[in-house]
């Protein structure tokens, strides 16, 4: 089952993306490649892999700036241009 132009139009609408007609075939091909890779990942045997609560658990970003160490997410939250609620970013809903 391949991705259709109708599927791409639906995805782009949900993501608030404007995709030119001339780029649609390229995007469809790229999305199908990504989905194919995800399909390969689903077949991996990960029974012996220890699970993590977060991929960068207890790691703090270290920069040679002379400033105090801080949690990477704290700096990210301070530098965004969106509303913050409960330490999260409030965005416009993609699903209607």
**Residue 59 CA from chain centroid, whole number:** 20
The CA distance from 35 to 1, in Å, is: 11
pLDDT per residue of the chain (96 residues) written in tens, 0 to 9: 689 999 999 999 998 888 999 999 999 999 999 999 999 999 999 889 887 776 665 555 555 555 555 565 666 666 666 677 776 777 777 676
The CA distance from 46 to 62, in Å, is: 31
45-70 as b/e, with b when 16 or more CB fall inside 10 Å? eeeeeeeeeeeeeeeeeeeeeeeeee
Residue 90 backbone phi and psi in degrees, to 5: -90, 120
What are the structural domain ranges in the chain?
A: 5-42
Q: Give the pLDDT score at 1.
A: 61
């Amino acid at each position: 089952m391949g991705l259709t132009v109708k599927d791409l139009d639906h995805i782009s609408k949900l993501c608030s993306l404007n995709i030119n007609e001339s780029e649609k075939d390229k995007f469809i091909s790229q999305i199908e490649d990504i989905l194919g890779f995800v399909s390969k990942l689903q077949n991996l045997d990960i029974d012996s892999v220890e699970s993590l609560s977060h991929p960068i658990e207890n790691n703090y970003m270290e920069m040679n700036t002379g400033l105090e160490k801080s949690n990477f997410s704290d700096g990210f939250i301070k530098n965004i241009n969106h509303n913050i609620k409960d330490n999260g970013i409030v965005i416009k809903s993609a699903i209607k």
